Chains A and B, each alone.
Chain A
Amino acid sequence: MALVLTETQTEFRRSVRALLHANSPVSEHRRLRNEADPDGLSRKLWRQMATLGCLGLDTDPDDTGDSTGTESELGGMAELGLVLEQCGRQLAATPMISCILLSSRLLTELGTKRQRALLTEVATGDLLIATAYQEGSRHNPEHVDTVAQLLGDQLSLSGEKRFVIDGHIADWLLVSANIEGLSEPSLGILLVKADSPGVDLTRTTLIDGRNSATVRLNDVKLPRNAVLGDVSPPPHHATVLEEVLARAALAQAAEMMGIAAELFERTQEHLRTREQFGQKLASFQALKHRMAHWYIELELSRSVLMDANSGVDEGRDDWMSLAHHGKARLGRLCSLATAEAVQLHGGIGVTDESDIGLFLKRAKVAELTLGDSSFHTDAYARRLGI
């Protein structure tokens, strides 16, 4: 894909939009929240997305079999971006980021054949895997205190992970830890069954009605082949983790694009219908300029995301910079979009009855997930060599 969608991509986007429109309107998101649904998301929707091929977009077809029905023409960041943008527009709660962009990708990149066997069930929507990489309250994947001590053929895993997205319903966890007891200490990703003895999962309810978990690991006993790939030679998973996080951040940015675009259209509609001082709000120049400015930022963001997605798919040398730019820019766009949407809707915008607040809350979670604008601007600057 270049900077315009192909016909196949346009068709795929139409299918995703139709599926989400029918099965996951914003009212469904509200219902999940109001009823304090034990899963916090719809497994039925997740399986429907599997049928459409959304869940196998980021894995090697050899690992998932033909169960996904993914067409060969599709598969890559461009399509993942289309799925996530539609999710953003509808506020569809799905484990797309946690299970597909993070976990499937880590398994695909690093897993042995035996470990990758899990991907078949992931692609059908029957198995959920969450990735536990964060320890503090700010995104800093290099900060890892969790330790996996190697003793003979056994590993003992201890530590605490926070903000493990969808961790509360995960069947398996991928955990970053410093492996000790090797010739040299090194960061590795470990595959851990969520109900292993010593794993304590505490569900956390977030402002957007979705869930993450705090994962406490207390002397969890694992075989040494729980490390993705192998422990000899010592794994250096830090680079792969950084890359997978950057790709996931770009996908998160696509969801934010959907949120910002949806808020824009809803605000436009509000200004077209609401009257004050005997005229439509849309006729006031002060508001026109704010909408035009917002539109400009939307268009710039769209160009950047489309190019970043194709940069990843083409394996361009600078794809990491493009991903950092994407997440940094969309963080800023969402700050603008949510502030303008609430302000221009006036009082109704701060009521729970209006959907605007739901978008505001989801946007804030997305902004701080996988690194905010400061984090990614810093990473971008580093890659500029300054």
Chain B
Amino acid sequence: MSSPPTSPEPPADLDAFREDTRRWLADACPQSMRGPVPPGEGLNWGGSDQADQSEDSRLWLTRMAEQGFTLPEWPVEYGGGGLNRAEAKILRQELKALRARPALTGVGQLLLGPVLLEVGSETQKLEHLPKIARGQVRWCQGYSEPGAGSDLASLQCRAEDQGHHYLVNGSKLWTSYADRADWIFCLVRTDPDAKKHDGIGFLLIDMKSPGISTSKIRLISGESPFCETFFENVTVPKAQMLGEPTGGWGIAKKLLQYERSAAASLGGSSAVGGGSMLELAKEVVGLQHGTLADPELRLRIAQLKMDQSAMALSARRVGEEKREGTVGGTGAILKYVGTELNKKRYEVLMSILGTQGLGWDGSEYKPRDLATTRAWLRSKANSIEGGTSEIQLNIIAKRVLGMPD
């Protein structure tokens, strides 16, 4: 994974930059955008549909985007901040000191953007990157299909070359928030006669195009973050193909790496509804002779804490090895470990909450309890989305351990 290009100019004066940034943030960041995100409220994913965002959230996004601070290390011409690594680090530190929430999140910023920077044509970059950086366009991801889950490369959604445009037919499953997205990036079958990995293209499609419809999928958590998206004779200009029409699989894999490193970061936090798991355990379970009243649960919590620290240290080690140029295979374990750990974390939280964690809704349950329960249900998908745990084990066995097919 390569980092986004950095501004060529050396830092004139980092202390002055820190001073300016701190002062600017203190003014720009609304009070309600500081501290943990309360249950029921979500981060700003950008896009034309801002209905669920507060006025402060929209303001915070606009201000940060004007400075290029939503994507601080991207070049200015693509809507970024043009900061070098040291300046970006200062910005992160100052945001953290203010406990400011991210002004913008989403797959455009986290997944598509880095790949566009790497493989997009100049026209594509100028067209799409600034809109991602400013949060004007919300993207969704069209990878899986009803018949192509773990075996993603067997996908059937067709893009037929019609001379001036492609004609797209088929459907995509697990398209996150497709009902609210402005654009979708899709893996499509461009050559049905080629070997399955070689006949795939990576297509950028405007969700307003005629022939596209979505239907929401209700999950066990009661929420519907995913959709099924249908394409019926959708016309897509040929300029919207990213890379070669049959080179999509390589791009898809690049993007999956970004997706997996984002998923891996799930397991690290133990915060729940603003407090720590340890505090929650002491409050709900209670202490007896100085140790948690439930000895078995006490050891499970200790074990989880150890595992979280092992995960965080491994992620740090991967970073350090990258800088030293001694990269081993450790990076390949992070998606598996992070997501499995997040599931375990919610199992422990459910044990701590006891029957208070069984509420679906109503006034007898604290928002913290309800949110934890829903998050527990949501966490079950962590080891399925973005490449299942079993696929991750296949990857480790094949790529790291060199075990034969």
**Does B3 belong to the interface (CB within 8 Å)?**
no
**Does A143 belong to the interface (CB within 8 Å)?**
no
* Cα of A246 to Cα of B121 in the assembled complex, Å: 58
**Stretch from B63-71, B214-222, B253-261, B307-315 contacting the other chain:** B307-315
Find out whether the CB atom of A386 lies under 8 angstroms from the CB atom of B310. Answer: no
Find out whether the CB atom of B302 lies under 8 angstroms from the CB atom of A381. Answer: yes
Q: Which residues from chain B contact A385 at a C-beta distance below 8 Å?
A: 278, 282
Q: Which residues from chain A contact B307 at a C-beta distance below 8 Å?
A: 300
Q: Which residues from chain A contact B298 at a C-beta distance below 8 Å?
A: 381, 386
| Known A288-B403, A295-B400, A385-B278: A380·B302 in contact at CB below 8 Å | yes
Q: How far is the CB of B92 from chain A (nearest CB, A)?
A: 20
* Cα of A301 to Cα of B281 in the assembled complex, Å: 27
**Does B330 belong to the interface (CB within 8 Å)?**
yes
**Does B354 belong to the interface (CB within 8 Å)?**
no
Q: Which residues from chain B contact A271 at a C-beta distance below 8 Å?
A: 403
Find out whether the CB atom of A329 lies under 8 angstroms from the CB atom of B404. Answer: no
**Does B397 belong to the interface (CB within 8 Å)?**
yes
Find out whether the CB atom of B397 lies under 8 angstroms from the CB atom of A291. Answer: yes
| Known A296-B337, A329-B310, A381-B302: A386·B292 in contact at CB below 8 Å | yes
**Does A306 belong to the interface (CB within 8 Å)?**
yes
* Cα of A112 to Cα of B320 in the assembled complex, Å: 42
Contact with B along A302-332 (1 / 0, CB 8 A): 1110110000000000000000010011000
Find out whether the CB atom of B393 lies under 8 angstroms from the CB atom of A289. Answer: yes
Q: Which residues from chain A contact B310 at a C-beta distance below 8 Å?
A: 300-301, 303-304, 325, 329
Q: Which residues from chain B contact A377 at a C-beta distance below 8 Å?
A: 299, 302-303, 306
A residues 76-93 touching B (CB-CB < 8 Å): none
The contact of A299 among B306, B316, B333, B393, by CB within 8 Å, is B333
**Does A293 belong to the interface (CB within 8 Å)?**
yes
Majority-rule SS of A interface residues = helix
Find out whether the CB atom of B320 lies under 8 angstroms from the CB atom of A4. Answer: yes
Q: Which residues from chain A contact B394 at a C-beta distance below 8 Å?
A: 285, 288-289, 292
**Does B336 belong to the interface (CB within 8 Å)?**
yes
Chain A residues bordering chain B, tally (CB within 8 A): 36
**Does B305 belong to the interface (CB within 8 Å)?**
yes
| Known A289-B397, A292-B401: A386·B313 in contact at CB below 8 Å | no
Q: How far is the CB of B313 from chain A (nearest CB, A)?
A: 4
**Does B291 belong to the interface (CB within 8 Å)?**
yes
**Does A24 belong to the interface (CB within 8 Å)?**
no
| Known A268-B401, A292-B396, A386-B291: A4·B321 in contact at CB below 8 Å | yes
* Cα of A274 to Cα of B404 in the assembled complex, Å: 13
Find out whether the CB atom of A293 lies under 8 angstroms from the CB atom of B314. Answer: no
Contact with A along B165-192 (1 / 0, CB 8 A): 0000000000000000000000000000
**Does B8 belong to the interface (CB within 8 Å)?**
no
Find out whether the CB atom of A303 lies under 8 angstroms from the CB atom of B337. Answer: no
| Known A291-B397, A291-B403: A299·B313 in contact at CB below 8 Å | no
Since A288-B394, A385-B278 are in contact, a sample of 14 more A-B pairs with Cβ atoms closer than 8 Å, ordered by chain A residue number, is A3-B313, A283-B405, A289-B393, A292-B396, A292-B397, A295-B333, A296-B336, A304-B309, A325-B306, A325-B309, A329-B310, A380-B305, A381-B299, A386-B291
Find out whether the CB atom of A4 lies under 8 angstroms from the CB atom of B278. Answer: no
Q: How far is the CB of B394 from chain A (nearest CB, A)?
A: 7
Majority-rule SS of B interface residues = helix
Find out whether the CB atom of A299 lies under 8 angstroms from the CB atom of B320. Answer: no
* Cα of A201 to Cα of B121 in the assembled complex, Å: 80
| Known A295-B396, A295-B400, A295-B401: A300·B314 in contact at CB below 8 Å | yes
| Top 6 A-B pairs, shortest CB-CB distance | A288-B397, A381-B302, A3-B317, A292-B396, A303-B313, A292-B393
Cβ-closest chain A residue relative to B400: A295
Q: How far is the CB of A5 from chain B (nearest CB, A)?
A: 9
Q: Which residues from chain A contact B324 at a C-beta distance below 8 Å?
A: 4
* Cα of A259 to Cα of B326 in the assembled complex, Å: 23
* Cα of A303 to Cα of B307 in the assembled complex, Å: 11
B residues 42-86 touching A (CB-CB < 8 Å): none
**Does A382 belong to the interface (CB within 8 Å)?**
yes
Find out whether the CB atom of B316 lies under 8 angstroms from the CB atom of A3. Answer: yes
**Does B163 belong to the interface (CB within 8 Å)?**
no
A residues 221-260 touching B (CB-CB < 8 Å): none
Find out whether the CB atom of B299 lies under 8 angstroms from the CB atom of A304. Answer: no
Q: Which residues from chain A contact B281 at a C-beta distance below 8 Å?
A: 386
**Does B40 belong to the interface (CB within 8 Å)?**
no
Q: Which residues from chain B contact A285 at a C-beta distance below 8 Å?
A: 394
* Cα of A104 to Cα of B58 in the assembled complex, Å: 64
**Does B301 belong to the interface (CB within 8 Å)?**
yes
Q: Which residues from chain A contact B362 at a C-beta distance below 8 Å?
A: none
* Cα of A321 to Cα of B392 in the assembled complex, Å: 31
Find out whether the CB atom of A384 lies under 8 angstroms from the CB atom of B397. Answer: no
Q: How far is the CB of B400 from chain A (nearest CB, A)?
A: 7
* Cα of A306 to Cα of B403 in the assembled complex, Å: 28
* Cα of A292 to Cα of B405 in the assembled complex, Å: 14
Q: Which residues from chain A contact B311 at a C-beta distance below 8 Å?
A: 300
Find out whether the CB atom of A300 lies under 8 angstroms from the CB atom of B333. Answer: yes
Q: Which residues from chain B contact A382 at a C-beta distance below 8 Å?
A: 291
**Does B10 belong to the interface (CB within 8 Å)?**
no
**Does B19 belong to the interface (CB within 8 Å)?**
no
Contact with A along B279-291 (1 / 0, CB 8 A): 0011000010001
Contact with B along A353-386 (1 / 0, CB 8 A): 0000000000000000000000001101110111
Find out whether the CB atom of B313 lies under 8 angstroms from the CB atom of A307. Answer: yes
Find out whether the CB atom of B404 lies under 8 angstroms from the CB atom of A280. Answer: yes
**Does A282 belong to the interface (CB within 8 Å)?**
yes
Cβ-closest chain A residue relative to B293: A386
Q: Which residues from chain B contact A280 at a C-beta distance below 8 Å?
A: 404
Find out whether the CB atom of B278 lies under 8 angstroms from the CB atom of A381. Answer: no
